[in-house]
Structure 1
Amino acid sequence: MISFHSEDIAIKIQQKLKLKNWLKNVIAHEGFSLGEVNYIFCSDDYLLKINIEYLDHDYLTDIITFDNSEEEKLIEGDIFISIDRVADNARTFEVSFEHELKRVLVHGILHLCGYFDKTDEQEKLMRFKENHYIALFN
């Protein structure tokens, strides 16, 4: 089950059912089954507090993914997304807010599937996967 929540902001997610089905298809295509994934939309301030408290990182980020999976090949987790960062990144990369939101939504799922973006090589693969799946949404 995929759920969308908001913490300290108000946001209306467009095409919720289509987004959920798309994310379920990404999970299946990567060879996993869906357990429970919660997306929590929040502000920069809210996500910064989480970043400091849980990861000891004192900087803004667009997404933090907590993997709650206990079984192999079962995707479960909590994905926190800063809507402030998504909006800023959309302006920076000159894409729509909706496009950037899709990128971040699938980015969290890819983390839960075992993809990382710490090295240049990992980041290159992550971007490739993001772009591939965004193209499938459209």
Structure 2
Amino acid sequence: MTSPGPAKTGPALNDMTIFAGVLILIAGVLHLLAAIAAIAKRDLFVLTEDQVFQVNVSVWGWVHLVIAVLIITAGIGIVTGKTWGYWAGIVMASISLMDNFLFAPMYPFWSLVIIAIDVLIIWALARELGSGVVQ
């Protein structure tokens, strides 16, 4: 006899998985907000002549938009319990971390907040992968 209810396949959604999934979705929305501000050319970003990486703010906006879409996709994969979501989440959080490191001269506080969130995401997802919850 089988137990009532739907059969769950794939990794279990435990507290750490939900934490990582929600956090990566928040990071994706924050990237989306930065993208909208940069594409709209708001006077929100600090631009100086002595920056190491001289890139147009609109270009950074489009980069953030692409990263936002990919991060949100990975977040949806995580919260729905897909194994590929864990790996995509680690990869996208790493890319986001590097992107915000390069973006830091234009908006330092925002970049540091996103970098901290990315580190938490990588830690939570790596912990889940290391614990054997994800096959």
| TM tier, smaller | under 0.3
Q: TM-score, normalised by structure 1?
A: 0.27
Q: TM-score, normalised by structure 2?
A: 0.28
The answer to which structure has the higher strand fraction is 1
The answer to which structure has the higher helix fraction is 2
